[in-house]
Amino acid sequence: MRILVTGAAGFIGFHIARRLLADGHEVVGLDSVNQYYDVRLEECSYRKVPHLVYASSSSVYGGSTQMPFSVQKGADHPLSMYGVTKRTNELMAHSYSYLFGLPTTGLRFFTVYGPWGRPDMVLFKFTKAILDDRPIDVFNNGHMKRDFTYIDDVVESVVRIMEVIPQPDPKWSSDQPDPSTSMAPFRLYNVGNHDPVELLEVITLLEEALGKKAKRNLLPIQPGDVPATYADVESLERATGFRPRTPMREGIQRFVQWYSEFYGS
């Protein structure tokens, strides 16, 4: 197929484009490699795109304490502006699905990590600081839990969900609405490891992989942050036959190996 990947210069977009090319697809990469992003129309409704798959985030769950987070439950109290924008994306996608019959699937990614990751993400920052012998800022005294998801599992989920084109759900009812589906061709899925790991454990695994102890600067939780994330991925597995399952220890070892080779550390 000819596949448009927006954000192709970014962390997840880069890995997905590389996988699609390896699978023999033609990839058209679109990104803005400068400091500002133009607000443009997508043209999906006019081009009769067969399936729009877009990135959402676990941040949409915000203040929810109903663990694990489920796409069948509401996500209407995000605590950060980032979460607000991702939830807005989902709502706009639903409107397009309803108004234009455009099949859309939103994937709520949970703390993605791995080679070629963003330098501002926690694993990348911690690795660099430890190797530079600088202290790391550990918020909520390290007791935050995150459902860390290895990049290869994310890519596999995206590639598989591309083939699962949503149809209007004949069982959908406005009396008892399921937020993950609709009378329109619209779906939402979580993409997470279904295994929350405490930040202190992540630091310990990172220390083992690097062979060096971290200097820890313990701090309170930041405004807009949440104590834990935990993905319910049953609907993803039902739809694709796949669920992320890379253990944290293995994923960190792969990341550290890549980091050492890339930066010569």
Lowest mean pLDDT: which of 45-54, 66-75, 142-151, 226-235? 45-54
pLDDT at 47: 77
CATH fold group of domain 41-263: Rossmann fold (3.40.50)
pLDDT in tens, 185-213: 999 999 999 999 999 999 999 999 999 99
pLDDT in tens, 112-171: 999 999 888 999 999 999 999 999 999 999 999 999 999 999 999 999 999 999 999 999
pLDDT in tens, 60-116: 999 888 899 999 998 989 999 999 999 999 999 999 999 999 999 999 999 999 999
Query: Above 90 in pLDDT, residue 237?
Result: yes
pLDDT at 34: 66
* Phi, psi angles (nearest 5°) of residue 186: -140, 135
Residues identified as active-site: 82
Domain boundaries, the chain: 41-263
Query: Above 90 in pLDDT, residue 46?
Result: no
3-class SS letters over 210-237 = HCCCCCEEEECCCCCCCCECCECCHHHH
Q: Element (H or E) spanning 72, and its range?
A: none
What residues contact residue 84 under an 8 Å CB cut-off, 6+ apart? 78
pLDDT at 38: 47
- In angstroms, the Cα distances linking 31 to 4, 47, 69, 99, 103 are 11, 19, 31, 27, 23
Say which amino acid occupies 12: I
pLDDT in tens, 172-189: 999 999 999 999 999 999
pLDDT at 35: 61
- Residue 27, classed as helix, strand or coil, is strand
- Residue 188, classed as helix, strand or coil, is strand
